[in-house]
Amino acid sequence: MNEAQRAKVVLKILNQTYPKTPIPLRHKNIFTLLISVLLSAQCTDINVNKVTKKIYPKHNKPQHFVKLGRKKIERLIKSIGIFRIKAKSIYYLSKILVDKYNGKVPRTFEQLEKLPGVGHKTASVVMSQGFGYPAFPIDTHIHRLAQRWGLSSGKNVFQTETDLKRLFPKKYWNKLHLQIIYYGREYCKARECYGLSCKICTTCYPKRKKPLITKKA
């Protein structure tokens, strides 16, 4: 089975398993989606949602976070990893949105990636889930799964993104990104499947006997 055939298997199984793909990070608007994605670095979606559930009813615009200031933002997100760094990014990001973009989230990769704390992956999620622009956000989990499934041998997330965009039609990218995340969490876990037990792994590699050690991004 070549990589194009494996891509078809992956797409078929994921569409059967997850016909619907709700956005896992709860948000009220595109700005709060941006904040939630920023907060999710080195943190679970569940924990982010737990924290933002208490924040977003009152604070859901850049102006709100500028008014709060860094120290108050820190207190609000204290249970989240590297909260001081994230609070600093949120404050200055909000200030830039107010001063430069009239309180609106910009709609291009270039503008988003210039904001404090916003890398390519965060920008990709906002472009994909917020604006509906075809994008393929790649995190370490998708990077790992792409290797297990024989879709990429990329040494980093940028190479993996290029490989997946080449293998899958653009119309599938936004949904596929979420489907892969859901499948990885439920069936192809880092320390359970090892490329040996889930349906995708056994279909793509029926003769695989040894655990697959994937390259970290």
Instruction: Say what percent of the chain tops pLDDT 90.
Output: 94
- Is the per-residue pLDDT at 161 higher than 80? yes
Orientation angle between helical segments 30-39 and 83-101, nearest 10 degrees: 150
Tell me the pLDDT of the chain averaged across its residues: 96
The CATH number that domain 3-21+136-204 falls under is 1.10.1670.10
Q: How far, in Å, are 10, 11, 161, 178 from residue 18 at the CA level? A: 12, 10, 21, 9
User: Of the CATH numbers 3.40.50.300, 2.40.50.100, 1.10.340.30, 3.30.930.10, which one belongs to the domain with range 30-130?
Assistant: 1.10.340.30
- Is the per-residue pLDDT at 118 higher than 90? yes
Q: Is the C-alpha dihedral spanning 162, 166, 171, 172 positive or negative? A: negative
- Residue labelled with tokens 């904040």: 35
Whether 119 contacts 164, CB under 8 Å: no
Catalytic residues: 121, 139
- Is the per-residue pLDDT at 189 higher than 90? yes
Whether 152 contacts 160, CB under 8 Å: yes
The arithmetic mean of pLDDT across residues 82-106, rounded, is: 98
In angstroms, rounded to a whole number, what is the distance separating the alpha carbons of residues 196 and 200? 9
Q: Is the C-alpha dihedral spanning 176, 178, 181, 186 positive or negative? A: negative
What are the domain boundaries of the chain? Answer: 3-21+136-204, 30-130
The arithmetic mean of pLDDT across residues 170-195, rounded, is: 96
Please give the single-letter amino acid code of residue 164: L
The pLDDT assigned to 132 comes to 95
Q: How many CB atoms lie within 10 A of CB 205?
A: 17
pTM of the full structure: 0.93
